[in-house]
Structure 1
Amino acid sequence: MVRTNELSASACHTFVATEIELNLELRRLDLSECLLNKFMVDLWFFTHDTPRVLEGKNCIVQPSELLCIRNSGPRPSSFVDFPSRSRECFYGLPCRLHGWSLRSEPRRVFDGIIFSNELDLLEIRWKELHPYVTKFVILEANTTFTGIPKPLYFAENRGRYAFAENKIFHGVFPGRIASYGSHEDPFKLEAEHRIAMNGLLRRAGISVGDLLIISDTDEIPSPHTVKLLQWCDGVPPVLHLELRHYMYSFEFPVDYSSWRATIHIYSQWTQYRHSRQTDLILSDAGWHCSFCFRYLKEFVFKMTAYSHADRVRHKDFLKYSRIQNLICRGDDLFDMLPEEYSFKDLIKKMGPIPRSASAVHIPAYLIENAEKFKFLLPGGCVRSPG
């Protein structure tokens, strides 16, 4: 049964039949905010002889161009933006809105991360992506990028991620301890980790045509993004992901400047890199939560361990009282000016990050477990030492 106020019933039946012929199993979906094609429609689907209801209310799409050029902003210029249209009315429609076609079956998805100590964000990431990911490939080392010995945090806490155990492929990279007075470039050590990840992915069983997510642990693609790209054909072989950037928690949204995360259609030439690889970027594709830690000791660890540790110019920078004060103000831990590409943006971002009281459009697992992760939500800025 199809009812519409602008299209004929026969046209809608043809539209439905096309989807059924693809032998897709549909589930109950709320269409209250979905994009269709300038009409309101209620559909009653039958797939595999099982009735499934799709409820449609005000499903209207505003016409807009598929691509637009953004030549300014806080990220490298000249990216070509793909508007993110991954909220689903039913399978296949988002693909067509991007000019892509629907696959008969989804691609396998490999999520590859180099892990340091972000235990809470790792749980949120894997819970969000678990229904769509084939393998969680995780590499950790016994030293930091700056050559400081560290525990294998994931290995020691692996039981926390038992929900994903059958999908986890874990590797250990033997890091190098920096000698006293050594000035070895931490970015060189980081590059060695990324080279090692290429081999780990191959051992995990990745194949040509699979979908590969390349991002840091705190750069989390949304489930809609992953589902869109695994179900569509015609997707570019490499896409950067525009992630909404947050600092310290989801109480302090910075902007949409995060662009380094990428998704690849894996090929024999794919390399695990965290740099500019294409001119194409998928808009509003997830979240990047920087320095989003539960304990003050974790802030100190990252400040001294990651590739930009040279920003710690004074010992006082590592005092818990100072760090706590800056977190709750939304101010910069390193007392630095914002990294921007124009004086206009530099001036606009000087000073503390404005607070947000909103918990809308953040990871669903975080909201479902608000008490456990209250330090990541508005009003939860106070941290314990740990």
Structure 2
Amino acid sequence: MSDGYYNFKKTDDICDEVCGQQASRAALTMSRLRCMLREYDIRTCAFLFMVIPLFIFGVYLHGQKITYFLRPLWESPPKPFHEIPHYYHENVTMETLCNLHGWKIRESPRRVFDAVLFSNEIDILALRWNELYPYITQFVLLESNSTFTSLPKPLLFASNRQQFKFMEPRLTYGMIGGRFRKGENPFVEEAYQRVALDQLLRIAGIEDDDLLIMSDVDEIPSAHTINLLRWCDDIPPVIHLQLRNYLYSFEYHVDNKSWRASVHRYKTGETRYAHYRQADIILSDSGWHCSFCFRYISEFIFKMKAYSHTDRVRFSHYLDVKRIQDVICRGADLFDMLPEEYTFKEIIGKMGPIPRSYSGVYLPAYLLNNAEKYKYLLPGKCKRETG
């Protein structure tokens, strides 16, 4: 009986016998702790000491991915746009096109102003301006000697201005000095430059009911879209443009969800240059957004360090030349991020490299007419020069 009793005796009783009944409370506590640890073998302890640090290191490396993947849990999708069907064919009259959109044709077209903040996208600027040239009254460009992140920047447009000599009669150019405030939120500097662009527009001579295109350089409205809006009456006072979204070149078609570009019927004292949602109406299939579409690797590195989302460069190896070239040719993400979506279905559906597109249909005419010069933007030409 006694053998059986000891086989089933409580652990606390065993510890009391080992450590002594008359021990102090502190000694008794330590004795019990040692007894508890005896229940775990060395391999289990070693496993715990390895797994916990590895888990912490994994969160450090991939915390941003975890945050983006769990985004649907705390952030709801934005209110959907009211999408207007977009009709166009070169053999259809403008009056018919206006009627198809529910608008009437004007006796004469409105004036159009295209205003941009310029950083370093010389080639994309050339595509944009040549696409829009027939229908723009005044091109307005503001350049700063500072990036949004307060890094010094050469005045690249000023040094390449000769390339755009054909546009001089329609160009209003301005330069603004950067404030170089280290540690400041980059969006503050960006807002500061957009306010300066408002002032430059007034210098350019914009008036009430003129059309104003608000978009980044790489958000390129199609020429026929702008021609439609300038000829049609009763268009909305503010209308966003849905653009085909590309990354690195026109080989990697991400989706058709680019929406920040907009066209405004200018109103003195009310219209302010901005780059966020300003209306609920969007015109379908209105152009192209080609993000990070650079000729040189050095231009990729510059933008990664210069634009408002510079916090995405979490590790220095992200700026490695070989890595960037590999990422471009795989259609992967420069910042090793997950898609910025609001549902698990869309996040999972877009994970991994972007599928290649081999279609060269419906691209800017100037690009196709100068294909040899801009071949790096065409399907199958992912290799970049270092610069």
- What TM-score results when the alignment is normalised by the length of structure 2? 0.79
For structure 2, which runs of at least 5 residues remain unmatched after alignment? 1-75
Q: Tell me, what secondary structure is at the counterpart of 2:206?
A: coil
Higher relative contact order (CA 8 A, sep 6+): 2
Q: 1:294-373 residue pairs with structure 2 within 5 A?
A: 294-373=295-374
Equivalence map 1:44-55=2 (5 Å):
none
Q: Could you tell me which amino acid in structure 1 is paired with residue 370 of structure 2?
A: N
Q: 2:89 aligns to what SS in structure 1?
A: coil
Larger radius of gyration: 2
Q: In the TM superposition, what whole-angstrom CA distance separates every residue of 1:294-329 from its partner, at most 9, and x where no partner exists?
A: 000000000000000010011100011000000000
Q: AA paired with 1:289?
A: C
Aligned pair count reads 310
Q: What is the correspondence of 1:39-188 to structure 2 with a 5 Å cutoff?
A: 76-88=78-90, 89-178=92-181, 182-188=182-188
Residue 233 of structure 1 aligns with an amino acid whose one-letter code is D
1:87, distance to aligned residue in structure 2 (A): 2.8
Query: Is 2:263 the counterpart of 1:260?
Result: no
What letter corresponds to residue 320 of structure 1 in structure 2?
V
* 1:214 maps onto 2:204 in alignment: no
2: CA distance between counterparts of 1:375 and 1:171? Answer: 30
Which position in structure 2 is the counterpart of 1:23? none
For residue 204 of structure 2, what is the aligned residue in structure 1?
204
User: What CA distance in whole angstroms lies between the structure 1 residues aligned with 2:160 and 2:370?
Assistant: 19
- Deviation of 1:177 after TM superposition, in Å, equals 1.9
Kept after mapping to 2: 8 A contact 1:75/1:257: no
Kept in 2: contact 1:75–1:259 (CA 8 A): no
Please provide the CA RMSD for this pair. 1.1
Partners of 1:313 and 1:176 lie apart in 2 by: 25
Could you say what secondary structure the match of 2:286 adopts?
Answer: strand
CA shift at 1:172, angstroms? 0.7
Q: Output one character per residue of 1:25-74: Cα deviation in whole Å (capped at 9) or x when no partner.
A: xxxxxxxxxxxxxxxxxxxxxxxxxxxxxxxxxxxxxxxxxxxxxxxxx9
Aligned partners of 1:244 and 1:288 also within 8 Å: yes
Structure 2 partner of 1:280? 281
Q: CA deviation at 1:85?
A: 1.1
CA–CA distance in structure 2, aligned partners of residues 160 and 244 of structure 1: 27
Read off the aligned partner of 1:198 and give its amino acid letter.
D
SS of 1:92's equivalent in the other structure is helix
* Letter of the structure 2 residue corresponding to residue 77 of structure 1: K
Q: How far apart are the structure 2 equivalents of 1:95 and 1:87? A: 12
User: Cα offset for 1:91?
Assistant: 2.2
Q: Kindly, what percent of the aligned residue pairs are identical? A: 58
Q: Return the letter of the residue paired with 1:220.
A: I
Please give the alpha-carbon distance, in whole angstroms, between the structure 2 residues aligned to 1:79 and 1:373: 34
C-alpha separation in 2, matches of 1:75 and 1:368: 40
For 1:331-354, what per-residue CA distance to the aligned partner results, in whole angstroms no more than 9, with x for missing partners?
A: 000001110011100000000000
1: distance between equivalents of 2:179 and 2:159? Answer: 20
Q: What SS does structure 2 have at the residue aligned with 1:199?
A: helix
Structure with higher helix content: 2
Q: Alpha-carbon deviation of 1:86?
A: 3.2
For 1:324 and 1:298, how far apart are their aligned partners in 2?
12
AA at the equivalent of 1:187: F
Residue identity matched to 1:238: V
Q: Residue deviations 1:175-209, cap 9 Å, x none?
A: 1223xxx3210000000011111100000000001
The answer for the alignment partner of 2:61 in structure 1 is none
* Structure ranking higher in strand proportion: 1
Q: Secondary structure at the match of 2:242?
A: strand
> Equivalents in 2 of 1:312, 1:365: separation in Å?
33
